[in-house]
Structure 1
Amino acid sequence: MNEQALVKTSVLEIFNKNGYSDLTRMTQRDYDHIGELLQEKSGILISGTTIKRLAHGEFTRLPQIATLNAIANYYNYKTWQDFKASKTEEGPEKGSAKKLGRRFSIKYLSVPAAIIMLGSLYFFRSTNGTVSHAEKASFSFRKNTRNDLPNSVVFSYNIDEVQADSFFIQQSWDKNRRIRIYKNHYTLTDIYYEPGYHLAKLIANDSVIRTADVSIPTDRWFFYAIDNIANYSTQYIKVDTFNHNGSLGLNIQQLQKNNIEVSKDKRYHYVYFPSQMNIPADNFQYKTRVRMQEVRNSLCPYIEIELYCQRLFINMRCTTKGCAHEAFVGFGEQLKKGSDNDLLPITFDVSQWTDIEITVKNKVAVVKINGKEAFSTRYTTDTKYLAGLGYISNGLCEVDRVELYSLDGRVMYKNEF
């Protein structure tokens, strides 16, 4: 196996270890998730775009040494060379013979040809796509509009001493919100259309070299619809009241009043982000009672419970038993998809009231559906503090009760509506 094949195989194995078995089903968010896992393990920032390119074998030269070392660190090797040595099947004699062969072939080239060949190799391996002096970059931000939405954020940066082919600022995980920047410019004003805890990224080529935590809380329930997750066009749903018959929810008339085309396939978001974040994401209890009503006929109606963390997510998609392959559960680096895991226990009739309970103690998670344990896992990622909570569905959720508090009793949110 050559070195490029080893890179691709190693990355695909990381995907498999984290529940991604089908590249065709992966989203950019999934690739960013893998990049964040590698950062947790190695301390080296790698963009999701780079991860995607390596997984698909879309590279003609080896990645930067930092990227290779991050992959090696994931497998508990200090450097890529150590990792590569552990995988090679060549003995010392065979390796020496190959080196001798290379020396022989160069020896019998003409001197000018050898100089041109070696110079070309050096040039392409040392300059094309590499990043140098990344530590000299600076990156910060300020919000011009407090916590209003849309929110105008001014990024300040300095990349003058960084050596790279191109530079970008990316709002969060969505690569479609990536804007190119240039040297000798120091300010970029961008717009955030959604609330939440965002990790903005300063990118050189495909490597994340600086990050900034951008928090845009709501301190109230906030509603919006997304027409197509690929385009990620956000439509706000402004309402006078969201309490119907003793539960949190919206109705179709409110959607139509906000010019939401209910005939289209959409994802409806109910989210709550507090200003204060003091509940650790590895020790908490969450209880809710929820159901959904369909807006349009769907073969696989679903409810997604999402607990937003400062790093990564805790989320779960529950759907009907016949659509169990569409279900998923994610805690930190542990993502289990119904397509290659038995997630039938977390499926139910989402049109009926259902009690869901999630307890996490020292990064051991247990999910209960109607009082019965349905799923459990252990994760290692430091997700830091809980930053918000949300309900997402291809219909309209109704929430009868929600409680979210730390195991020592501190309350982040509690409401019986």
Structure 2
Amino acid sequence: MKVDSEKPIFVIKSRSKSGKSLQIRSAAMNEQEIVKASLTEIFRRNGYHDPEALTQRDFDHISQEIDRATGILVSGTTIKRLASGRFSRSPQIATLDAVSRYLGFRNWQEYKIGALTTIELPDADSHKPVHSPRGRGWLSRYWKAVSTACVIAVALAAFVQLSRRPGDFGKASFTFRKTTTSDIPNTVVFSYDVKGVTADSFFIQQSWDKNRRIRIDQDSHTLTDIYYEPGYHIAKLIANESVIRAVDVYIPTNGWFFFAKEKPTSNPEYIRRRPGQSPGDLTLTRADLLSSKIDITKEKEYTSTFFPGKMQLNSDDFTFTATARVKEVKSNFCPYISFEIYTQRYPLFLKITPGGCVNEASMQLGEQFISGQTTDLGFLGCDVRQTTQVELRVRQRNVTIFLNRKKVYAGSYQESSRLITGLGIMSNGLCEFENVELKGADGTILYSFEKPHSL
């Protein structure tokens, strides 16, 4: 259904013998206006009421939410470009389908039909009878025929589009095995069978990152891929743009694992620990970076992650505490530390930064991502260059945050993220740690510097 931006709005009305009127309305919106309007609605549903105030982190969050809901990754950069009206090239149909599916439609064509066409049948009592002059009955019959034809055309268009969706998903199979237990990088062997599935194309995507999507042959059964980062990944088997199977791929670490990245989609640069460093010592130095051939003249995010070989702690009931401070690698007006609890679904994290930079602060609690761009997160502001203590306490999805032993936030979330899979600490500098501890609601310590192998 192609919409011409130069066509005026038109309304066709007819009246049935029962006295009810049929109204078909077509809005004169072009494709670009529809895309922008749909993205604005997605922003609103995620708590962003001013699209111009969104940061790249906010766009990346929207990207993750669309991916979780639809199985289609649209990059944060693409979302930002389309939302700002930069249409130097037409959006891919996969992007448009992802937007429409997030809003509850099957595909972009169905969304346009639903967004652009309104059919109303008001009660007969709401209108007075219309008496046409003698000899003009042919005109009434003409408009009835036109309106009926429009309804049929809309229905046929929807039927044709829906009939093109891939089918027979139940016949697909998807499994995997790792070539090693915890080596990083780690090669994974995917086994699949999609011979009985009706679709034009098939893919395997190893995680949320669409850049890690590989096209597969319908007549083959094996694909190998490399995971460069540890963690809990959800690999997807995709037919056209529909996720038809998913498997949880867990890549654990042997203790803490360190790496640097210039941007979220970059491959990690691994950081080697100093010889003789104790398992509980997470502190890195500039010498560690240089010996690992890390270019310290570039802005990077430094990550420390720990993914144990087993998962046993409920993400809805735990206490996490950490005491740390940032030592800058490069001079930065807004140093930060992010503390993250990895889970089988939604992560829980806090990003703290100096008070003058709190518009860059953020946090995620279950399904709720909260940005300092659209919410006052002044309570997450502190000088992270000084020793800072953070406590995240969760009891039956009720969250309390303490900063330097002061209660600064209380809230809750709805959707469980199942079990805790690991811990992560990120910063644009190097962190010095005094303590990191994770314990259950009953006080049982699952991880601490004194018990680094408890998990």
Q: Do the structures match in fold with TM over 0.5?
A: yes
Contact 2:281 2:449 in 1 (8 A): no
Alignment match of 1:208 (pick from 243, 246, 251): 243
Is 1:330 the counterpart of 2:360? The answer is no
Q: Which range moved further: 205-214 or 144-153?
A: 205-214
Counterpart of 1:166 in structure 2 is 201
SS at the partner of 2:249?
strand
Counterpart of 1:304 in structure 2 is 338
Alignment match of 2:174 (pick from 139, 145, 153): 139
Change in 2 beyond 3 A, CA 1:107/1:330: closer
1:104 positional shift: 1.9
1:6 positional shift: 8.9
Is 1:249 the counterpart of 2:279? The answer is no
Counterpart of 1:397 in structure 2 is 431
Counterpart of 1:30 in structure 2 is 62
Is 1:71 the counterpart of 2:104? The answer is yes
* Alignment deviations for residues 13-49 of structure 1 (CA, whole Å, 9 cap, x no partner): 453343345366344553233443x4xxxxxx54233
Is 1:271 the counterpart of 2:312? The answer is no
Change in 2 beyond 3 A, CA 1:310/1:62: closer
SS at the partner of 1:289?
strand
Is 1:18 the counterpart of 2:46? The answer is yes
Name the TM-score, length of structure 1 as normaliser.
Answer: 0.80
1:242 positional shift: 8.2
Counterpart of 2:255 in structure 1 is 220
Counterpart of 2:187 in structure 1 is 152
Contact 1:197 1:309 in 2 (8 A): yes
| Structure 2 counterpart of 1:125, one-letter code | Q
1:405 positional shift: 1.1
Change in 2 beyond 3 A, CA 1:242/1:357: farther
Is 1:47 the counterpart of 2:72? The answer is yes
Alignment RMSD (CA, Å)? 4.0
SS at the partner of 1:104?
helix
Alignment match of 1:282 (pick from 316, 320, 325): 316
Structure 1 distance, partners of 2:363, 2:387, is: 20
Contact 1:252 1:295 in 2 (8 A): yes
| Structure 1 counterpart of 2:168, one-letter code | H
Contact 2:74 2:95 in 1 (8 A): no
Alignment match of 2:441 (pick from 384, 392, 407): 407
| Structure 1 counterpart of 2:65, one-letter code | H
Structure 2 distance, partners of 1:62, 1:133, is: 24
| Structure 1 counterpart of 2:46, one-letter code | N
Contact 2:401 2:409 in 1 (8 A): yes
Structure 2 distance, partners of 1:102, 1:137, is: 49
Contact 1:403 1:413 in 2 (8 A): yes
Alignment match of 1:92 (pick from 104, 122, 127): 122
Unaligned runs of 5+ in 2: 1-24, 86-90, 125-140
Structure 2 distance, partners of 1:2, 1:221, is: 59
Counterpart of 2:226 in structure 1 is 191
Contact 1:294 1:395 in 2 (8 A): yes
Q: Percent identity?
A: 38
- Aligned residue-pair number: 388
Change in 2 beyond 3 A, CA 1:14/1:27: closer
Change in 2 beyond 3 A, CA 1:59/1:125: farther
Structure 2 distance, partners of 1:161, 1:102, is: 47
Unaligned runs of 5+ in 1: 39-44, 73-79, 95-99, 110-114
Contact 2:321 2:390 in 1 (8 A): yes
* Alignment deviations for residues 68-105 of structure 1 (CA, whole Å, 9 cap, x no partner): 59738xxxxxxx99xx79x96934369xxxxx988723
Change in 2 beyond 3 A, CA 1:127/1:397: same
Tell which structure's C-alpha radius of gyration is larger.
Answer: 2
Counterpart of 1:105 in structure 2 is 146
Structure 1 distance, partners of 2:378, 2:37, is: 31
Alignment match of 2:161 (pick from 112, 120, 125): 125
Contact 1:28 1:48 in 2 (8 A): no
1:368 positional shift: 0.6
Structure 2 distance, partners of 1:193, 1:384, is: 24
Structure 1 distance, partners of 2:349, 2:328, is: 21
SS at the partner of 1:254?
helix
Change in 2 beyond 3 A, CA 1:247/1:59: closer
| Structure 2 counterpart of 1:18, one-letter code | N
SS at the partner of 1:214?
strand
* Alignment deviations for residues 285-335 of structure 1 (CA, whole Å, 9 cap, x no partner): 011101110001112111110110010200111111111110001011111
1:248 positional shift: 2.5
